[in-house]
Amino acid sequence: QSFPQLKVANLHKAYALHAMYNTAEAQKLCDEVFDTLSKEELPFGLTVRAFINARLGKMDLAIADMKRLLELAPRKQECYLDLALFYAHLGDIQESQANLDKVAPETNFDEANLGMHQARLCLLQKDDKGALKYAEHAFEKRPGQVDIRAIYGLALIRNDRHEEAQRELDLVVKTDPYCANAYWFRGELHEKLGDEEKAKQDRKVATDYGYIPYL
């Protein structure tokens, strides 16, 4: 007997566990149902599995799933944004930018996330002023999105605006205690301010979550 609602519920649970950095459990749940997904369920399954693999550092598998999703999804913008993120993690700036160039923002979400990803590419290329410009634009569009706020915080650090960066990253951690990159970025800030102990503490939280630094 098939329980399609249970399968989808397990995928949603896997996605939630991934967001909480419980990646092993998320992968187990996803693997249990993936091969039984219907054509209608497959796009969400590919999304979940791609992000789990990315969290595990298996970017080639994440990219393969996202490219497969690109063929199925009626709305392509988020696929291009996600592919840009995965390539950024690999340090492949050219391929990341190529995917961002395909994004034609249809929503506030698209525009804000396009700005965030452009900020990431600027940070990878040590263009700190450019990163801040894009991060500010993304932040203005969606100030409540924690990953955008975290990138904004890092851009502030790299532009030596430490007090503002502290405020932003403290707020991100308070809002979402599972935002591992915010802990890592705040560790960089503490190090710049000469507080090695706090830097170590924040970086330990990030690495305990399984965070893989790339910026």
**pLDDT tens track of the chain, all 215 residues?**
345 567 889 999 999 999 999 999 999 999 999 999 999 999 999 999 999 999 999 999 999 999 999 999 888 999 999 999 999 999 999 999 999 999 999 999 999 999 999 999 999 999 999 999 999 999 999 999 999 999 999 999 999 999 999 999 999 999 999 999 999 999 999 999 999 999 999 999 999 999 999 99
Residue with tokens 């098939």: 2
171: left (phi over 0), alpha (psi -120 to 50) or beta: alpha
- Supply 199's token pair: 């830097």
Burial annotation 96-129 (CB, 10 A radius, 16+ → b, else e): bbebbeebeeeeeebbbbbbbbbbbbbbbeeebe
Angle among Cα 97, 64, 8 to the nearest 5 degrees reads 115
Query: Is 124 strand, coil or helix?
Result: helix
What's the confidence (pLDDT) of residue 2? 46
What's the confidence (pLDDT) of residue 1? 36
Predicted TM-score (pTM) of the model is 0.92
Say which residues have a Cβ less than 8 Å from residue 201's Cβ, sequence separation at least 6. 187
Q: How far is C-alpha 185 from the geometric centre of its chain's CA atoms? A: 14
**Euclidean distance between CA atoms 146 and 42, whole angstroms:** 27
- CA neighbor of 119 nearest in space, from 178, 159, 166: 159
How big is the chain, counted in residues?
215
- Supply 140's token pair: 């203005």
